[in-house]
Amino acid sequence: MEQKKESRTAGILFTLCGGVCWGLSGCFGQFLFQERSLTAEWLVAVRMLLAGLLLVMIGHIVQGKKVNDIFRDKKDRKQLFWFSVFGMLFCQYTYFAAIAESNAGTATVLQSTAPILILAVVCITRPRLPKGVEALAILGALVGTFLLSTHGDISSMQLTPLALILGLCAAAGAAMYNLMSSKILQKYGVYPVVGYGMLIAGILMCIVVRPWEREVPTDIQTILATAGVIIIGTAVAFSLYLKGVSIVGPFMGSLLGSVEPVTAIVVSFLFLHSDFQLLDLVGFALILVTVTLLSTRKQSIGT
């Protein structure tokens, strides 16, 4: 009994650490945009290419040759490609572009509204109306986004329109990421799908962006921040989070994952001098509470 309790505690810690690593990834990105004048296009191209290679290598270590099984089925190859473009690439680019236009905390919280969009898709495709708790979650997320973007004054925008659009696009990208990957993830596992998804998206992005043509600072802070996005925000984050979820389960994992936006808010405020007003924090709280509330109904959403 004591051993089982210790294992669960370890699972919670692994999951929390994975979420913190994802939150830190956005803050590393904010530093590179804010202090080193790098672009979201450059960072996303480099991050997806190198992180994809890293995850595929880990997949070979963990799964051996099975990591390549996804390419044997024509239908799954096609699904992987579309996931790479419309799930991975769209999600990653809009998220980091939203950080560049606002800050890591705001972009991460806006992206966390993805479950609301997934719920909307379910309600439209079933079709059915949102249930009581679901309707409350949608209302809370809408009010939170309104407070975050206007501070309660409909005649003024506190966020730039582009930052709001990119943040909501990041949420749409995260929703597509989850909806498009669910079947192949169950069939092949995370490392082949996410690894090759990032690698394909990174290659496509590099062809367009040509990151090697841009002059990039080579000081130690720039190198560490870039490595933080690639290694801490990808390989370490995925490994810790998945290890934790394997112990505590996906339901608890989704709740513990809310530490990601909280981490991004705290770190961007303390170390990157992001300016948050009281109504920003109220908006953050409303969004995070309602998304967490929706997570408690996660199993019933699909029914």
Residue % of the chain over a pLDDT of 90? 55
In this predicted model, what pLDDT tens digit does every residue of 109-147 receive, in sequence order?
Answer: 999 888 888 888 888 888 888 887 888 888 888 898 888
**Can you say whether the dihedral through the CA atoms of 260, 261, 263, 267 is positive or negative?**
positive
pLDDT at 303: 32
pLDDT at 186: 84
* The token pair that represents 286 in the structure block: 């409303």
Note whether 159 and 106 are within 8 A (CB): yes
pLDDT at 136: 84
Q: Which residues, at least 6 apart from 30, have a Cβ–Cβ distance to it below 8 Å?
A: 99, 100, 103, 104, 268, 272, 274
Q: What is the DSSP string of 101-121?
A: HS-HHHHHHHHTTHHHHHHHH
Phi, psi of 37 (to 5 degrees): 55, 30
Query: Could you give the count of Cα atoms lying within 13 Å of 196 in the half-sphere of its Cβ?
Result: 24
pLDDT at 41: 96
Residue 228 lies in a domain: yes
- What is the distance between the alpha carbons of residues 113 and 255, in angstroms, rounded to a whole number? 14
Domains contained in the chain, number? 1
pLDDT at 3: 55
- Buried b / exposed e over 176-208, threshold 16 CB at 10 Å, is bbbbbbeebbeebbbbbbbbbbbbbbbebbbee
- Buried b / exposed e over 272-284, threshold 16 CB at 10 Å, is bebebeebbebbb
Residue 153 lies in a domain: yes
pLDDT at 4: 63
- What is the distance between the alpha carbons of residues 270 and 295, in angstroms, rounded to a whole number? 29
* CA distances, 127 to each of 28, 182, 228, 299 (Å): 41, 21, 43, 17
Residue 18 lies in a domain: no
**Does the pLDDT value for residue 2 go beyond 60?**
no
Q: Of the candidates 229, 227, 255, 230, which has an alpha carbon nearest to the alpha carbon of residue 241?
A: 255
Quote the distance between the C-alpha of residue 211 and its chain's center: 23
Residue 136 lies in a domain: yes
* The token pair that represents 303 in the structure block: 């029914």
Residue 8 lies in a domain: no
Domain residue limits at 176: 41-301
Average pLDDT score, the chain: 88
Burial group, residue 242, by CB count within 10 angstroms (0-12, 13-18, 19+): middle
pLDDT at 47: 95
Provide Rg for the chain, Cα atoms: 19
Note whether 195 and 67 are within 8 A (CB): yes
Residue 9 lies in a domain: no
Give the type of residue at 176.
M
Residue 51 lies in a domain: yes
User: What pTM, to 2 d.p., does this model score?
Assistant: 0.89
Residue 14 lies in a domain: no
pLDDT at 29: 96
Note whether 97 and 166 are within 8 A (CB): yes
Q: Of the candidates 105, 165, 121, which has an alpha carbon nearest to the alpha carbon of residue 288?
A: 105
